[in-house]
Amino acid sequence: MAPSRAQEAEPAATCPVPALEPVRIVARMPHDPRAFTQGLIFHEGALLETTGQYGESELRRIDLRTGRVLARRALHQSQFGEGLGRIGDELVVLTWTNGYAPRFNADTFRPLGGFRYAGEGWGLTTDGKRWIRSDGSDSLIFHDPTTFAETGRVRVTLAGTPLPQLNELEWVDGQVFANVWHSDVIVAIDPRTGCVARRFDLTPLAREVAAPDPEAVLNGIAWDEKGRRLFVTGKDWPRLFEIALPERN
Per residue in 213-222, pLDDT (tens digit) is: 999 999 999 9
- Given a cut of 50, whether residue 40 has pLDDT beyond it is yes
Collapse the DSSP code of 23 into the 3-class scheme (helix H, G, I; strand E, B; otherwise coil) and give the result. coil
Under the banding of pLDDT at 50, 70 and 90, the label for residue 47 is: very high
Let me know if residue 122 belongs to a domain: yes
d(CA 30, CA 230): 16
Give residue 17's pLDDT. Answer: 87
Secondary structure of the chain: what % helix, strand, coil (to 5)? 5, 50, 45
Contact 224, 22 (CB under 8 A): no
Give residue 211's pLDDT. Answer: 84
Helix (H) or strand (E) holding 207: helix 203-209
69 beta partners: 62
Let me know if residue 190 belongs to a domain: yes
220 beta partners: none
Let me know if residue 241 belongs to a domain: no
Please give the residue range of the domain that contains residue 43.
5-228
Residue 34: CATH number of its domain: 2.40.128.630
d(CA 2, CA 143): 19
Give residue 16's pLDDT. Answer: 82
In the chain, the number of structural domains is 1
d(CA 20, CA 118): 34
Contact 228, 245 (CB under 8 A): no
Let me know if residue 170 belongs to a domain: yes
Contact 237, 224 (CB under 8 A): no
